[in-house]
Amino acid sequence: MQTRLTKALNIAHPILCAPMAFASGGALAAATTQAGGLGFIGGGYGDADWLDEQFEIAGDTDVGCGFITWSLANNPALLKQVLDKSPRAIFLSFGNPAPFAAQIHAANVPLICQVQTLRDAKHAISIGAQYIVAQGTEAGGHGEVRTTFTLVPEVADYIANNAPKTILIAAGGIADGRGLAATLMLGADGVLIGSRLLATTQALVHPNLLQALFNATGDDALRSKIVDIVRGRYWPDRYTINLIQNAFSDEWHDRSDELRTNTDAQNSWNNALMTGDANIANIFVGQGAGLINATDSTANVITEIMADASQHLSRWA
């Protein structure tokens, strides 16, 4: 399937693996690339040793790296550390990419910016991002309130009229070939997939948390601040995180102020994440949860998505 994305990145399939912090390691990133897409190591909050380890695991396979932009600003040396490894692309999300754009461009590395609003898309294009990921609220992990179904075509129209060389990638709730086919019709050149690739043998996720995902539907997705509170992670007010509800979120979602001072509850959640207690720790998955029912290899997932998408596109051609 040839699109502007596949041609620009010289990949077989218009699929990118989301740089999910500490879940998208070198194995998942490399497996995505080897399956014909492009994988990204989730640089997240910036652990230099972990990044070195994951790039070593990826080996000679072309992979990119993603950063939470406002967190990268607290440790900008990490960008040079990764650029020295010749990544296939740098992926910036959830903050102002402008302070890092010149350094990325100077290294001749493609810049991908994930945005949640048309306003942020315009800003990313103005600082030279060659690729824009329009992320809808359906996505797992952090995001905002615009939906994939309306944000993607609005950004597509802006790009067509103002920056026609910019490549558009859709994200948010895309978990099968129907999602890929639909977003191509909305004007995207490809897709960024997170939650579906989270449920692969190469992802760094406790199996108990994956089982909680398989037991869930899209109705169980909840946008909340509670897990940032328990982890002691600062996030700008505009962003919440999509997670699967459980007993812990039922108890604390509407009591975030109390949670900030309850160290016992905070410790309970963090310990549960390590042990895989899905009644307390939440898995960060979005509204596509009901479309994900089993673990499989990354290669099989991508092959199935592409076959499904091709079938649907041919059906409606």
Q: What pLDDT score does 97 carry?
A: 96
Element (H, E) at 98: helix 98-106
Query: What is the location of CATH 3.20.20.70 in the chain?
Result: 4-204+294-316
Residues in a beta bridge with 113? 92, 132
On the 0-12 / 13-18 / 19+ scale of CB atoms within 10 A, 201 is middle
Residue 116, SS3?
A: coil
DSSP class of residue 127? T
On the 0-12 / 13-18 / 19+ scale of CB atoms within 10 A, 74 is exposed
Q: What is the pLDDT along the chain (317 residues), one digit of tens a residue?
A: 899 999 999 999 999 999 998 899 999 999 999 999 999 999 988 889 999 999 999 999 999 999 999 999 999 999 999 999 999 999 999 989 999 999 999 999 999 999 999 999 999 999 999 999 999 999 999 999 999 999 999 999 999 999 999 999 999 999 999 999 999 999 999 999 999 999 999 999 999 999 999 999 999 999 999 999 999 988 999 999 999 999 999 999 999 999 999 999 999 999 999 999 999 999 999 999 999 999 999 999 999 999 999 999 998 87
pTM listed for this prediction = 0.94
How is residue 169 written in tokens? Answer: 């990638």
Residues in a beta bridge with 131? 112, 167
- Cβ neighbors of 255 (< 8 A, separation 6 or more) are none
Name the nearest CA neighbour of 32 among 50, 20, 18, 52. 18
User: Is the distance from CB of 64 to CB of 40 less than 8 angstroms?
Assistant: yes
Domain 4-204+294-316 CATH assignment equals 3.40.50.11540 = no
Report how far residue 68's alpha carbon sits from residue 78's, in angstroms, rounded to the nearest whole number.
Answer: 12
**DSSP assignments along 187-228, one per residue:** T-SEEEE-HHHHTBTTS---HHHHHHHHT--GGGEEEESHHH
